[in-house]
């Protein structure tokens, strides 16, 4: 095994551990991992943003933003 493979496997183990102990929201963990992969040059910028061009990914992101906005609005607190 080369050093690049070992570093990637170490990063993978770290992200799995962070998922398990649940210290941050999943979306933050995934985006941080994407940034780490960009910083270590495992991905180039085109590969990193390729998944965001899918309509399903954009729809899920919009739904997540809308659900957080609804949760944080004062009207939902009063209604509850």
Would you say 24 and 31 are in contact if contact means Cβ atoms under 8 Å apart? no
pLDDT tens for residues 2-40? 988 898 899 999 999 998 998 888 878 888 898 898 898
Residues 38 and 56 in one domain: no
pLDDT tens for residues 35-76? 898 898 888 888 888 877 788 888 888 888 888 888 877 775
pLDDT value at residue 78? 65
Residues 12 and 36 in one domain: yes
Residues 38 and 69 in one domain: no
Q: How many domains does the chain have?
A: 2
Angstrom distance (rounded) from CA 57 to CA 48: 13
pLDDT value at residue 10? 92
pLDDT value at residue 17? 92
Percent helix, strand and coil across the chain, each rounded to 5? 80, 0, 20
63 is in which domain, residue-wise? 51-80
List, in order, residues 6 or more apart from 60 with CB less than 8 Å away.
none
Does residue 1 have a pLDDT over 80? no
């Amino acid at each position: 095994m080369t050093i690049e493979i070992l570093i990637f496997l170490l990063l993978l183990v770290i992200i799995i551990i962070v998922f398990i102990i649940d210290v941050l929201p999943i979306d933050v963990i995934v985006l941080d991992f994407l940034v780490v992969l960009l910083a270590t040059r495992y991905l180039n910028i085109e590969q990193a943003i390729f998944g965001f061009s899918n309509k399903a990914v954009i729809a899920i992101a919009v739904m997540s933003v809308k659900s957080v906005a609804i949760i944080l609005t004062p009207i939902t607190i009063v209604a509850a």
